[in-house]
């Protein structure tokens, strides 16, 4: 798909949805939502994917009603859009939402430890999962213990006062233990003073 056809698909989706909502008075079309449009590269044909709320029979009726009004929708698109060619529109049922809901329901059933009670719909391509029994050698459900941080990370995290006797810490006598040995450091007056 090119960017041009992607933009055209989105434009057609919006316009077809608007026409179906505002211009078509058939009550069977009321629960249909245009989810996407796929145009062929030559712009002669377009699949209009529609999601329909309702039972199997109601959805079939809605798709049949939509097929019947697509000539009207195509004519309306010709007056609204400045295109050389308005593609022939072919309605298809989009059951992605229904399949997703069914998968979530099956996962909830399995998590609760129950077998799914509903049979797979006709033409279902998803395998129906079954509960797997534990076998010897299966990994436990407990998460692995947290790994110890490396020694360098432990040193960086240490905060607070250093223990007495560590380099740079003050000893009880007020001097610095370890480290600078009797070196002289210049103060702000310019005169040298001993650190010990």
Q: What is the pLDDT of residues 38-63, one digit of tens each?
A: 999 888 999 999 998 888 888 889 99
Long-range contacts of 129-133 (CB under 8 A, 24+ apart): none
Element (H, E) at 194: strand 192-194
**Which of 68, 7, 75 lies closest to 43 in space, CA to CA?**
7
Contact status, residue 73 vs residue 16, Cβ threshold 8 Å = yes
pLDDT exceeding 70 applies to what percent of the chain? 59
Q: How far apart are CA 196 and CA 182, in angstroms?
A: 6
Q: Quick one: which of 152, 151, 169 has its CA closest to 160? A: 169
pLDDT tens digits for 92-114? Answer: 998 887 777 778 888 887 787 77
Taking 50 as the pLDDT cut, the residues of the chain under it are 169, 171-172, 176-179, 196
Domains by residue range for the chain, with CATH: 3-94 (3.30.300.20), 96-130 (no CATH)
pTM, entire model: 0.53
Please give the Cα distance from 21 to 76 (Å, whole number). 13
């Amino acid at each position: 798909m090119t960017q041009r056809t992607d933009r055209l698909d989105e434009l057609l989706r919006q316009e077809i949805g608007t026409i179906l909502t505002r211009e078509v008075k058939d009550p069977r079309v009321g629960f249909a939502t245009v989810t996407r449009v796929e145009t062929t590269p030559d712009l002669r044909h377009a699949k209009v994917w529609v999601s329909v709320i309702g039972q199997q029979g109601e959805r079939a009726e809605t798709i049949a009603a939509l097929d019947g009004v697509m000539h009207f929708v195509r004519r309306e698109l010709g007056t609204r859009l400045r295109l050389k060619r308005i593609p022939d529109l072919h309605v298809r049922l989009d059951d992605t939402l229904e399949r997703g809901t069914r998968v979530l329901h099956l996962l909830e059933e399995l998590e609760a430890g129950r077998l799914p009670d509903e049979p797979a719909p006709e033409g279902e391509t998803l395998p129906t999962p079954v509960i797997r029994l534990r076998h010897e050698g299966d990994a436990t459900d407990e998460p692995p213990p947290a790994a110890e941080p490396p020694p360098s990370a432990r040193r960086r995290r240490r905060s607070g006062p250093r223990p007495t006797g560590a380099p740079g810490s003050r000893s009880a006598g007020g001097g610095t233990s370890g480290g600078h040995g009797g070196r002289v450091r210049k103060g702000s007056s310019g005169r040298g003073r001993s650190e010990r």
